[in-house]
Structure 1
Amino acid sequence: MIYLLLSILASSWILITFKLFSKYNVDTLQAIIINYIVASLSGLIAYSKPINIVTIAKYDWFYGTIALGLIFILIFNLMAITTQKNGISVAAVATKMSVAIPVIFGIMIYKESTGIIKIIGITLALVAVYMTSVKTTEGISIKKENLIYPFLVFIGSGIIDTSLKFMEKNYVSEIDTAIFSSSIFGFAAVIGILILIYKAITTKLKISIKNIIAGICLGIPNYFSIYFLIQALRNPSMDSSTTFIINNVAILLVSTFAGIFFFKEKLIPKNWIGIILAVISILLVTFSI
C-alpha cells in the first residue's frame, strides 16, 4: 500500500506543477521534453545493475517501451488540442475516465474479482471523476467535429495504464523496474528532442532557464509516479483494477484540494458531491479486496 500512496503523491505533484506553468508562463512543450530527459536519467541513477545498452535492447519489454514513449508524446499533444478545442474539463474527464480500460482489462483477462461492492465502487468512481472535473453547472458540451480528440485521449491514456500492467506482469522483473521506466521516458525524450529540432529549423526557438527548471521539477515526480505505480501493481493482495481505481480517484481528490488551498479555486455544489462520491468509491473498492 505504501507504493500506491507514493504514486498518488507523485502524480498529484505533477498536476500541481502543471498548474504553476500558466502562472509563470512556462513553455509547456519545452518543459515536458526536459521532464522526459530528467525522468529517464532518474531511472538510470536508480538502477542498481550495470547499464549495458546492448543488453537492454535484448529485453522482451524493450520494443514496448518504444511504443509507450511514442504514446506519451502523442497523448500530451492530444491533451493540449483537447483543452484548446473543448476546454480543460473535457481533457480532465477523458484522461481520468480512461481508468475504465485497465479495469475492464484486469477483470476480463486476469479474471480479477467482480463482487457487487466493487462494481458499485467502480461505478461511483467514474461518476465522481465526471462530477469533480466539470467546473460548470451546464456540464460538458462538445462539438461533433471535435469529439475525436477527447476520444483519442481516453483510448491513449487507457492503453498506457493497461500496457504498464501487461508488461509488469509478463515481462518486467522487479529488479528491472527502474530501467524499464527509464527506457519509456528515454524514448519519449528522444521523440521530443526531434520535435524541438524541427521547431528550431522551421521557427525561432528559444530555450530559457525557466523552462529547464520547470522540466526538472516535473521530471523527478513523473519518474517516481510510474515507478511506484508499477511496484503497487505487484502487490499480490490487491487486484490491478482496484489499484487503478484507488490511484486515479485519490489523485483527483488530492489535486482538487490542492487547487482549493494553494490556488484558491472555487468548487460548485456538483464538485463537492463528486468529492463525497470519490471518497465513498475508494472505501467500497478498498474493502471489497
Structure 2
Amino acid sequence: MIDFLLSVSLTACLFLIFKVFERKKVRLLGGIVVNYWVCVLSGMVLLPGISLPASADSLQSWLPFAFFLGFCFITTFYMMAYTTQKVGVSAASVASKLSLVIPVAFSLLFLSLEQRKQWDSWNIMGMLLVFVAIVLTSLRPRYTPQTFDLRGLGLLLAVFFMSGTIDTTLNYVNAYRLNEQTQPLFTVGVFATAGFLGLLVVLYKQLIQKEHIIGVREIIGGIALGIPNIFSLYFMLRALAFFKHDGAFMFPVFNILVILLSTMGSIFFFGEKLSAANRWGIFVSLLALTLLAHQELLSVFA
C-alpha cells in the first residue's frame, strides 16, 4: 500500500511542478527532455537492483514494450500540448483523465486475474461518478476552446486513446512480462527511449529550425521534474503488483486521489481559486472514492 500512496503523491507533485514551469516560463519541450534523461540517470543510481538480465530471453520479453511505451510517452506529450493549444486546456485534460476507461475495460475483459475485485452495484456507481468528478474538477473558466470542429474532436480522441494505451500497456506488461527484479530496469528503459526520441526533436529544432530549446531554466526544471517522475512510474508498477494487477480497481482510485491531492496542492501553494463546479467535483470525487472502495473500508471497521 505504501507504494501506491507514494505513486499517487509523486504523480500529484508532477502536476504542481508543471504549474511552476508555467510561472517560471520554462520551455516545456526542453524541460521534458531534460527530465527524461534525469529519470534515466537517477534511476540507474537510485532504483534497487539495476542490472542487465541474466538471459537474452528475459530481456526480449519486455524490451519491445519499453520501446513502445517510451514512444507513447513522448508522442502523447506532444499531442497533449498541441491539443491544448487548438482545443483548450480543460478539454485536453478531461480527455487524458477519462482515458482510464481503457485500462479499466481491458482489465475487466481480458486480464484473467483470479484475485480480481468482485464488483457490486455500489462499485459501478462509484466508477460512473469518477467520470463526473474528472469533468467537474478539470473545468477552468478562463480557458475556452479556440477551434472545436472535427479536427479538434479527432485530437481529443487521439489524446484519449494514447493516454489509455499507456496505462493499459503498463498493466499488461507488469502482469505478464515483469517481476520485482526486472521492474527497475524496465522503468529506466521506458524513459531512455522517450529521452532519446525527445533529444532527436531538440537537435532538429536547435540545429535546423534555430530554436533555443534548452537553457538553464529547462535544466533546473528537468531535474526537479525527473526525480519524482522516475519514482512515480516505479512505484506505480509496484502498486499494480500489490493490487494483483487489478487495474479496474486501481486506476480509478489512483486518478481520483491524484486529482484531490494536486487540487489541494494548487490551492495551498499557488492560491488557486476553485469554481463552484470544481468544489462539486471534489465532493463527487470523495463520494466516488468511498463507493469504489466501500468493501475495503468496511473491512477495516469490521
The answer to whether the Cα contact below 8 Å between 2:174 and 2:245 also exists between their aligned partners in 1 is: no
Deviation at 1:53, TM superposition (A): 11
Rounded Cα–Cα distance in structure 2 between residues aligned with 1:100 and 1:52: 34
1:25-174 residue pairs with structure 2 within 5 A? 25-45=25-45, 46-51=47-52, 55=56, 58-110=59-111, 112=116, 113-136=118-141, 142-174=148-180
**Aligned CA distance change for structure 1 residues 85 and 138 (closer, same or farther; 3 Å):** closer
SS of the residue corresponding to residue 242 of structure 2 reads coil
Partner of 2:279: 272
Q: Is the 8 A contact 1:133 1:271 kept in 2?
A: yes
Of 231-240 and 221-230, deviating more is: 231-240
Cα 1:145–1:121 change in 2 (3 A) is same
Structure 2 unaligned blocks of 5 or more: 297-302
Cα displacement (A) at 1:48: 1.5
RMSD: 2.2
Give the TM-score normalised by the residue count of structure 2: 0.90
| Amino acid of the structure 2 residue aligned with 1:244 | F
Shift of 1:143: 2.7
Q: Secondary structure at the match of 2:103?
A: helix
> How much does 1:114 deviate?
2.7
Cα distance between partner residues in 2 of 1:218 and 1:137? 26
1:183-207: CA deviation from partner (whole Å, max 9, x where unpaired): 0000000101111111122122433
Aligned residue runs from structure 1 range 193-208, under 5 A = 193-206=199-212, 207-208=214-215
Is the Cα–Cα contact under 8 Å of residues 126 and 289 in structure 2 kept in the other structure? yes
- Checking the alignment, whether the CA contact within 8 Å between 1:131 and 1:273 is kept in structure 2 is yes
Where does residue 223 of structure 1 map in the other structure?
A: 230
- What stretches of structure 1 of length at least 5 have no aligned partner? none
Match among 184, 196, 205 for residue 190 of structure 1: 196
Partners of 2:125 and 2:192 lie apart in 1 by 39
Establish whether residue 23 from structure 1 lines up as the match of residue 29 from structure 2. Answer: no
Q: Counterparts of 1:63 and 1:229 in 2: how far apart (Å)?
A: 20
**Counterparts in 2 of 1:38 and 1:49: CA distance versus 1, 3 Å:** closer
Compute the displacement of 1:79 (Å): 0.4
CA positional deviation for 1:91: 1.3
2:282 is equivalent to residue 281 of structure 1: no
Match of 1:177 among 171, 183, 190: 183
1:139, distance to aligned residue in structure 2 (A)? 9.0
Q: Are the counterparts in 2 of residues 137 and 268 from structure 1 also a CA contact under 8 Å? A: no
Match of 2:10 in 1: 10
Q: CA deviation at 1:209?
A: 1.5
Shift of 1:236: 4.5
Gap change, CA 1:213 and 1:138, over 3 Å in 2: closer
Secondary structure of the residue aligned to 2:51 is: coil
Cα offset, 1:77, TM superposition: 0.4
Question: 2-11 or 256-265, which moves further after superposition?
Answer: 256-265
TM-score, with length taken from structure 1: 0.93
* Number of residue pairs aligned between Structure 1 and Structure 2: 289
Runs in 1 of length 4+ with deviation above 4 angstroms?
52-57, 137-141
Q: CA deviation at 1:252?
A: 0.8
* 1:238 positional shift: 7.5
Per-residue deviation, residues 147-200 of structure 1 (Å, max 9, x unmatched): 111111110000000000000000011111111111000000010111111112
